[in-house]
Amino acid sequence: MGFGCNSCGVTGCRIIDSPRERLIAILTNNLVPCNGRFPFLITIATIFIAGTIGGIGSSIISTIAVMGIIILGIMMTLVISKILSKTILKGMLSSFVLELPPYRKPQFLKVLVRSIFDRTIFILGRAIAVAAPAGLVIWLFANIGIQGQSLLTIIANFLDPLANLMGLDGYILTAFILGIPANEIVLPIILMCYMQGTSLVNMEDTFAIGEILRQNGWTILTAINVMLFTIFHFPCATTLLTIKKETGSWKWTAISFLIPTVSGIVLCMLTTLVYNVFVI
């Protein structure tokens, strides 16, 4: 379910009887990309992997690259689940028993109503509550300046040293942070920063997007690290609020924030180190 929406995936963990295993599933759910991250992954792979290779097989290679990143996320889900089960969530394994209930004719209206009100409207309402104020914050950061520099640029310059270690730049890292309300706005924020705009930029021309990114120093290393960090970074705000509701604890919400983020920072740093040692 997390491939559709991580927030719905977290809610779906209710079917797991064991509290320990339910918590492990909730904490690792964000390591698979939701629908909000797929377009960004595909765009970057198309521009920098397919565009660099060229030829008939370029689209196949870019598809394999996206699939490879997804498989890496699934593998990390298994690895981190194992680590959690041996450390902070150590305990007895629960057995799996599937009891088949008596067959009843489906009540379509009841299922539809419960699906809409218990899941869809609940998730959409939470997303709207987060997205509205976040849009205002992004606008303020882009339009309020200090000594000729926007707050967006000041934040990006502050994050630049860490971002460089990760093979990124300050604007990319800032876009991921400001994109916490919804993963779909990370690329528009990046484009807004590069174009020195005051509002989110929505472009559908992949070639034009690629030109803007290359003009601002993007390389194949930048693209790989961006794809890695797209998979391995903190959950969106809606998912975090859902985790808080499902676990009833800010501690587990914070851990669910830190696990993918720390993993992403370390992976990007390792990728940059290996690239600088063996490629450059």
pLDDT at 72: 94
The CA distance from 58 to 161, in Å, is 33
252-257 average pLDDT score = 94
Query: 211-233, pLDDT tens digit by residue?
Result: 999 999 999 999 999 999 999 99
Q: Judge whether residue 126 has pLDDT over 70.
A: no
- pLDDT at residue 264 in the model: 95
- Of the ranges 118-127, 148-157, 215-224, which one carries the lowest mean pLDDT score? 118-127
Q: What is the pLDDT of residues 197-213, one digit of tens each?
A: 767 767 778 888 999 99
35 in any annotated domain: yes
SS3 of residue 145 by DSSP:
strand
103 part of a folded domain: no
> Percent of the chain at pLDDT above 70?
84
Q: Is the pLDDT of residue 78 over 80?
A: yes
pLDDT at 182: 81
In a domain, 267, yes or no: yes
**Residue 149, token pair as written in the block:** 């520099």
N- to C-terminal Cα separation, the chain:
40
SS3 content of the chain, % helix, strand, coil (to 5): 70, 0, 25
User: Angle, to 10 degrees, between the axis of helix 186-194 and the axis of helix 151-165?
Assistant: 110
Q: What separation in angstroms does the CA of 172 have from each of 84, 155, 164, 203? A: 30, 11, 10, 17
Task: Kindly state the average pLDDT of the residues 55-84.
Answer: 89
Q: What is the pLDDT of residue 119?
A: 60
Q: What own/partner pairs with CB < 8 Å and gap ≥ 24 does 23-26 have? A: 23/89, 23/247, 23/252, 24/81, 24/84, 24/85, 24/89, 25/81, 26/243, 26/246, 26/247, 26/252, 26/256
How much is the pLDDT for 117? 61
Give the number of domains in the chain: 1
Residue 116 lies in a domain: no
Count of Cβ atoms closer than 10 Å to residue 268 Cβ:
24
Band of pLDDT at residue 141, cut at 50, 70 and 90: confident
Find where tokens 């498989």 sit: 71
The residue segments making up the domain with residue 150 are 6-91+125-278
Residue 111 lies in a domain: no
Query: Count of residues for the chain?
Result: 280
Please compute the mean of the pLDDT values over residues 46-67 and round it to a whole number: 83
Most confident of 117-126, 224-233, 271-280: 224-233
Task: Identify the pLDDT of residue 252.
Answer: 93
More confident residue, 261 or 195: 261
229: left (phi > 0), else alpha (psi -120 to 50), else beta? alpha
Location of structure tokens 């690629």? 210
Q: What pLDDT shows up at residue 71?
A: 94
Asked whether residue 273 is domain-assigned, the answer is: yes
Give the mean model confidence (pLDDT) for residues 30-44.
Answer: 90
Q: Is residue 101 part of a domain?
A: no
pLDDT band at 148 (very low <50, low <70, confident <90, very high): confident
* Residue 145 resides in a domain: yes
221 Cβ contact partners less than 8 Å away, ≥ 6 residues apart: 167, 271, 272, 275, 279
User: How many C-beta atoms surround the C-beta of residue 41 within 10 A?
Assistant: 19
- Assess whether pLDDT exceeds 70 at residue 114: no
